[in-house]
Amino acid sequence: MQQSSSSTALRGRFAPTPSGTMHVGNALAALVAWLQVRSAGGTFILRIEDIDTARSKAHFIEQIVNDLKWLGLDWDEGPDIGGPYAPYVQSKRLELYQEALRILKDKDLLYPCYCSRADILSVSSAPHGLSSEGPVYPGTCRSLGPEERARRAESKQPSLRFKAPGRTMSFVDGIEGPLQMLGDAGGDFVVKRADGMFSYQLAVVVDDALMGITDVLRGADLLDSTPRQLLLYEALGKRPPRFAHIPLLVDEEGRRLAKRSRGLSLSNLRDEGIPAEQVVGWLAYASGLLDKPERVQPAELVGHFSLSRVTSRPIMMTDHMYSLLS
């Protein structure tokens, strides 16, 4: 598996999943990632993560592109303009993920798993059986012998799991600061599902490594994925990027907002006649980049951008915050 040519220049990306319309939470991640790259004079990449073909729809890709352009964001490489590391759509990069699996298999870091989700949930009902990413896999199939694996394979197609070592992974988050997290907090994790679909964890690591991504800025909901991804970078012999996780939008009870909460999709805001500059200003204010909400274009924020200004606290959507956006 070849890696992109090394460079000290910052390379960042926005990598949405086309399973629905973009909402202000997605727009916040896109804006801050774009500002981080543009303020450093780096290269900004748009990549479409459509590996989950059952949920991804082609028409959402077009809508994402239109929404980003409406906000005033541009990119240097992407599915619509190409670039040196094309294709920029995950469903067209499957051979690269398969090559990564071959490397992991040769290092004896994978094993077949025949457990169903129901099996895992039944074990996870015990204390400490859940992690923030879901049920902890107890390692049931890790020590199966060849004969037992062959017997189970007669009735069930296995998934492939990565042997996660039980050690602490340390990294510095660009917003949260120094962090330490267990690499096996959720147990051995799936890198290829029983239905043949490659996992997000594997695909995102392969793509970021091969595209030379130096800085990953994404939502705080993916923070717990970082230790797993660091393990994969290490196993594949690749240098990991720097990570920064921006806060999520939550309701007044602290629950993450659903995609369709109170018309917060960009298409709804645009249909209501709200100017893109107002949305950008609201995003900048909500994240701590502006002291007060005002209409502004993304380019006007570049010269004053600092990741240190981005809040690490969840952004609570009070009635007042809704009123500023409407």
Residues recognised as catalytic: 259
The C-alpha angle 12, 39, 33, rounded to 5 degrees, equals 35
The residue among 26, 82, 83, 89 whose CA lies nearest residue 257 is: 26
Q: At 276, phi and psi to the nearest 5?
A: -60, -35
Question: In Å, how far from its chain's centre is CA 125?
Answer: 28
- CA proximity to 311, closest of 282, 285, 281, 280: 285
Q: Give the list of residues 6+ apart from residue 181 with CB closer than 8 angstroms, or none.
A: 168, 169, 224, 226, 227
The angle formed by the CA atoms of residues 307, 183 and 131, to the nearest 5 degrees, is: 90
3-state class of 88 per DSSP? coil
Dihedral sign (CA 145, 150, 153, 158)? positive
